[in-house]
């Protein structure tokens, strides 16, 4: 069963599954409760791109907090195992580098990113309290920047923005001077990590970082994308949004040890696959 309110998702992303007898698509918003028979829940609900989660910040908090309460209540009722897609954002603008799971983070409670960061932090709290109080079988993963095919062209995050701009020969918009860093994980690697965590040992509930430890500046990313696409785009610099983290790199030793997991796709290979996807997307290239 796939639940989506389609605020940022698109039906075209699951259209190839619609005819399958074991697939069911339900339009639903997790701010409202839902009653289903399930044995595993992956809770990925919440817009993750800054422009989308800042569009209606109150709704973003509701999605993370009420969504977690509703899904944890469901897991408790039907005795399902439940995995929470948490985020590297819970580390905020990190004072520790690379980020390990025992770092508590450096998060502004009242900034423009707080609706997402604090919503996700509160969701982690709810997961661990339902686990301690109600013995709910939880798993918590902290996902670092992830990209790949089936992102929306207007998603707004850096990888899809730069690829779409490069393919259209439009200016590549770097926020700030481009020296801030991110570590980019290809979607297939991430999904493998999610599945391993869901099916992992019973005594390992997380939180565990999932991400690619290759760290790049945003300027390096822009240059790499221009090179691969052979684009005529120019790089332009715009102002840096408030509270934009300076650096980010996951320490994935725990995932390696407990799940035998590590990413297999390096940035160049992942970008090539993603660029190929966007080349075939008529919304981008026609
Ligand atoms: N960014 C950028 N140009 C864009 C979109 C994003 O320079 O068109 C920068 C952004 O300021 C941030 C980094 O790229 O430093 C990653 O941004 P994204 O929105 O992808 O994710 P997050 O900030 O949540 O890691």
Domains of the chain with CATH codes: 2-285 (3.40.50.720)
Strand, helix or coil for residue 263: coil
63-112: pLDDT as tens digits: 999 999 999 999 999 999 999 999 999 999 999 999 999 999 999 999 99
* 43 in Cβ contact with 85 (< 8 Å): yes
Strand, helix or coil for residue 49: coil
Q: Mutate which of 92, 94, 158 to test ligand 1's pocket (most atoms within 8 Å of Cβ)?
A: 158
Instruction: State yes or no: pLDDT of 115 exceeds 90.
Output: yes
pLDDT of residue 285: 87
In a 13 Å sphere around the CA of 28, the CA atoms on its Cβ side amount to 16
pLDDT of residue 104: 98
Q: Is 116 a catalytic residue?
A: yes
Residue 24 CA to residue 2 CA, distance in Å, equals 6
Instruction: State yes or no: pLDDT of 161 exceeds 90.
Output: yes
Residue 270 CA to residue 118 CA, distance in Å, equals 30
For the full predicted model, state whether its pTM sits above 0.95. yes
13-51: pLDDT as tens digits: 999 999 999 999 999 999 999 999 999 999 999 999 999
Q: Mutate which of 142, 157, 174 to test ligand 1's pocket (most atoms within 8 Å of Cβ)?
A: 157
Q: Mutate which of 46, 47, 49, 50 to test ligand 1's pocket (most atoms within 8 Å of Cβ)?
A: 50
**Among protein residues, the one whose CA lies closest to atom 18 of ligand 1:** 157
Query: 55 CA distance to ligand 1 centroid (A)?
Result: 16
Band of residue 286 on the pLDDT scale cut at 50, 70, 90: confident
Average pLDDT of the segment spanning 192-215: 97
Query: 158 CA distance to ligand 1 centroid (A)?
Result: 5
205-254: pLDDT as tens digits: 999 999 999 999 999 999 999 999 999 999 999 999 999 999 999 999 99
Query: 176 CA distance to ligand 1 centroid (A)?
Result: 10
In a 13 Å sphere around the CA of 127, the CA atoms on its Cβ side amount to 26
**Among protein residues, the one whose CA lies closest to atom 6 of ligand 1:** 158
Instruction: Please indicate whether residue 92, judged by its CB atom, sits closer than 6 Å to ligand 1.
Output: no
Q: Between β-strands 215-217 and 181-183, what pairing exists: parallel, antiparallel or unpaired?
A: antiparallel
Residues 6 or more apart whose CB falls under 8 angstroms from that of 73 comprise: 33
Nearest ligand 1 atom, CA 244: 15
Strand, helix or coil for residue 163: helix
pLDDT of residue 196: 98
Q: What is the mean pLDDT of the chain?
A: 97
Query: 138 CA distance to ligand 1 centroid (A)?
Result: 30
Q: What does the DSSP assignment read for 86-109?
A: EEGGGGBS-SSSSB-TT---B--S
* Distances in whole angstroms, Cα of residue 129 to Cα of each of 84, 85, 122, 125, 191: 13, 16, 10, 6, 26
Q: Which of 42, 116, 130, 147 is catalytic?
A: 116
* Distances in whole angstroms, Cα of residue 9 to Cα of each of 52, 134, 151: 11, 32, 9
pLDDT of residue 56: 97
* Strand partners of residue 25: 2
């Amino acid at each position: 069963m796939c639940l989506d309110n389609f605020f940022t998702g698109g039906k075209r992303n699951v259209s190839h599954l619609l005819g399958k007898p074991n697939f069911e698509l339900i339009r639903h918003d997790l701010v409202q409760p839902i009653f289903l028979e399930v044995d595993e829940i992956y809770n990925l609900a919440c817009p993750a791109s800054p422009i989308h989660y800042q569009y209606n910040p109150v709704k973003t908090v509701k999605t993370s907090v009420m969504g977690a309460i509703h899904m944890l209540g469901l897991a408790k009722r039907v005795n399902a195992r439940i995995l929470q897609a948490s985020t590297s954002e819970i580390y905020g603008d990190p004072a520790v580098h690379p980020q390990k799971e025992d770092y508590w983070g450096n998060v502004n409670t009242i900034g423009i990113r707080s609706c997402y960061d604090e919503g996700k932090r509160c969701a982690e709290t709810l997961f661990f309290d339902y686990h301690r109080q109600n013995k709910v079988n939880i798993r918590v993963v902290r996902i670092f920047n992830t990209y790949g095919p089936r992102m929306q062209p207007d998603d707004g995050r850096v990888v899809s923005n730069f690829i779409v701009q490069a393919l259209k020969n439009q200016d590549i918009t770097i926020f700030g001077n481009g020296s801030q860093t991110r570590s980019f994980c290809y979607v297939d690697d991430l999904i493998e990590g999610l599945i391993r965590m869901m099916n992992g040992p019973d005594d390992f509930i997380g939180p565990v970082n999932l991400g690619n430890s290759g760290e790049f500046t945003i300027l390096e990313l822009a240059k790499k994308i221009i090179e691969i696409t052979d684009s005529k785009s120019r790089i332009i610099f715009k102002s840096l949004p408030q509270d934009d983290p300076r650096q980010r790199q996951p320490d994935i030793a725990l995932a390696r040890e407990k799940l035998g997991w590590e990413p297999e796709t390096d940035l160049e290979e992942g970008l090539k696959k993603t660029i190929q996807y966007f080349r075939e997307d008529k919304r981008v290239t026609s």
